Amino acid sequence: MGLEIIESIRQAEQQANDILENAQNGAQQIISDAKLQADKTISTFEAALEKQTQKIIQDACDKAQKQATEILGQAQEKCNRLKDESSANMEKAILFVTEKLKGAK
């Protein structure tokens, strides 16, 4: 009878150890699966972030190009106006100097 009790205790200890080992293995698998899922999620997030960043950069470049084109057009118009005014004033100056030279003779 004493040996049966000792054998029963040993079996209970072995079962407890098996349960503990299975629980530890299960916990390790859960941790491993969670890490893999986290890595996948991070990769997906990084890809989406990269795409969004590139779109923001492209939009900013497009806007800057549009503004630069508008400013260049405005500057060209102003240069043309100044050139026209300068030409008109030059003609007046030539006429003025010519008249003064004729009058000086």
d(C-alpha 65, C-alpha 84), whole Å: 28
pLDDT value, residue 104: 66
Q: How confident is the model at residue 88 (pLDDT cuts 50, 70, 90)?
A: confident
pLDDT tens digits, one per residue of 8-49:
999 999 999 999 999 999 999 999 999 999 999 999 999 999
pLDDT tens digits, one per residue of 49-68:
999 999 999 999 999 999 99
What ranges do the domains of the chain cover? 11-105
Tokens found for residue 65 = 């190009």
The percent of residues above 70 in pLDDT, for the chain, comes to 98
Encode burial over 18-45: b for 16+ CB neighbours within 10 A, e otherwise: eeeeeeeeeeeeeeeeeeeeeeeeeeee
d(C-alpha 102, C-alpha 95), whole Å: 10
d(C-alpha 33, C-alpha 27), whole Å: 10
